[in-house]
Copies of this chain bind each other. A is one copy, B any other.
Amino acid sequence: MEQPGAISELIDALKRLPGIGPRAAQRISYQLLSGDRSDATRLGRALLEAVDCVHKCPRCNSLTDKDLCIFCSSPNRDDSQLCIVETVADLMVIEQSLSYNGRYFVLQGRLSPLNGIGPHEIGLDKLIQRTAEDSLKEVIIATSFTAEGEATALAITDLLTKHHPQLRLTRIAKGVPAGAELEYTDVNTVAQAMLNRRVREL
């Protein structure tokens, strides 16, 4: 279909967002450009500003516009607990569930040997360093209950048992539906799973 280049480009850029199909991209584009364009300008500026000033937290891999993220720098969080998640979106779901007040560590996704994604790629070397701190007592593994998420949990258990045998390793309870992504689970289920966490055994 022929369309002005600037609109085509906007539709193409919107289509690349997760969960937005071609029809929705088109509808959003025309709605943003019809009438008052302040929403479009605001979103455009917000994107460029965020790309410019938001970076990965050097301590936990979450996102921040400061030296350290709010989860690492807050004096009100419990240094004795560390929760390991696959993505920043997963971290935010746990925050919203109001069931946890320790520190976090965000992996770079999940182990996927068939796709060449091994322990190094998801940041397990850095996790071993991070878990060497004396104040830390418990590591809560909150990866997804998918095959890859479970394999990742197993690899973490294996490594931490070897390197830091004094740590208590726990896994959030399987209240999260099996096969589901943590990110898409309702916060009450996530809260239940956090409360029901059990000691991890090999």
Q: Which residues of A contact B (CB under 8 A)?
A: 1-7, 9-10, 12-14, 16-19, 24, 26-35, 37, 39-54, 63-66, 69-70, 87-89, 92, 95-96, 108, 183
Instruction: Determine the chain B residues whose CB is within 8 A of the CB of A54 once the complex forms.
Output: 4, 6-7, 33
Bound-state Cα–Cα, A16 to B31, Å: 11
Chain B: CB-nearest residue to A66: B4
Copies in the complex: 2
- With A2-B70, A4-B63, A46-B9 already in contact, the answer to whether A31 and B89 are too (CB < 8 A) is yes
Q: Are A19 and B13 in contact (CB under 8 A)?
A: no
Of B30, B39, B47, the residue contacting A92 (CB under 8 A) is B30
- With A19-B24, A19-B28, A28-B17 already in contact, the answer to whether A9 and B44 are too (CB < 8 A) is no
Cβ distance A16 to chain B, nearest Cβ, rounded Å: 5
Ordered by A's residue number, 10 sampled pairs between the chains whose C-beta atoms are within 8 Å are: A1-B92, A6-B52, A6-B65, A10-B47, A13-B43, A17-B43, A18-B27, A32-B50, A33-B88, A44-B47
Bound-state Cα–Cα, A6 to B34, Å: 26
Q: Are B28 and A18 in contact (CB under 8 A)?
A: yes
Q: Are A16 and B45 in contact (CB under 8 A)?
A: no
Bound-state Cα–Cα, A165 to B52, Å: 60
Of B37, B39, B46, the residue contacting A6 (CB under 8 A) is B46
Cβ distance A21 to chain B, nearest Cβ, rounded Å: 10
